[in-house]
Structure 1
Amino acid sequence: MGNQPGTEDAELIISELATNAVRHSASGRFGGRFTVSVHADGDRLWLGVLDQGGPRSPHPLPPQPDEEGGRGLALVAGLAASWGVTGDDMGRIVWAVLDLAPEKAAVR
């Protein structure tokens, strides 16, 4: 993605969402897969990961100081202007919207 504004945040969000797809959905099984989508619209990026579903819906966990995992969606929520989940146990899209010019959004 280069050195454009928001690049590092976008890469981190996609990395977290992809990791969750592999760890917490059927996408992590042998032969499983997930799809990453990125859509730019002016000063905003829509970032999404489509997985193959699982028994639990993704949600942020409370901080666990002694645990290495479990902070991904909280991190996404902190970086993104908004985020959400659509779908069910057969397949989900976990998405986030990243403002590339947050100072403009604060003025509106």
Structure 2
Amino acid sequence: MTAATVGPQRYQERYAARLEAAAQARRDITLVLETWGLPQLVDVAEQVVTELVANAVEHTDAATVGASITRTGTESARIVVTDTSRTRPTPGAPSPDDEHGRGLLLVEALAHDWGSDPVHGGKRVWAELRADGTW
């Protein structure tokens, strides 16, 4: 892994906006959480970062996608995914037969809180994760 580590409590990386980016980000975030001694956040973090990165790759024309994780407490972290689109994500309303459109609904269900903010050159989508049972 050729990741850019920023201090002991934050990790960030940029990925080429390809389908493989979600799997790469998932592996990196998992390794970071295990290194920090937060294995209780791994399952939720894997799902959340996979959905957010996959959405950035699929629904924007970004050449790269950024992903970061910041430890925000003894059992909490914040995942941020950035891209160059200014369009804010909104959860879909898929029918039971739809095969797609549930990613942000999953993020909404798993994260303690989530949202998006415009930033210079695009947007960031974030999700707060907590291991204290207040998903």
Work out whether the TM-score is over 0.5: yes
For residues 44 and 52 of structure 1, the distance between their equivalents in structure 2, rounded to whole angstroms, comes to: 27
Of the candidates 80, 88, 109, which is equivalent to residue 78 of structure 1?
A: 109
Paired AA for residue 50 in structure 1: T
Q: Is the contact between residue 53 and residue 89 of structure 1 (CA under 8 Å) also seen in structure 2?
A: no
Conserved in 2, the CA contact under 8 Å of 1:64 and 1:70? no
For structure 1, the 5+ residue unaligned runs are none
**Structure 1 residue aligned with 2:43:** 8
Q: Deviations over 1:49-106 (max 9, x none)?
A: 001115x32000113212111100000000000000001694110110011122xx59
Q: Which runs of 5+ in 2 are unaligned?
A: 1-29
TM normalised by structure 2 equals: 0.66
- Whether contact under 8 Å (1:16, 1:72) holds in the other structure is yes
Aligned partner of 1:18 in structure 2 is 53
RMSD (Å), alpha carbons? 2.1
Instruction: Give, in whole Å, the separation in 1 of the partners of 2:104 and 2:124.
Output: 13
Q: Could you say if the C-alpha distance between residues 64 and 47 of structure 1 is closer, same or farther in structure 2, counting changes exceeding 3 Å?
A: same
The correspondence for 1:45, drawn from 68, 77, 85, is 77
Identity %: 32
- Equivalent position of 2:65 in the other structure: 34
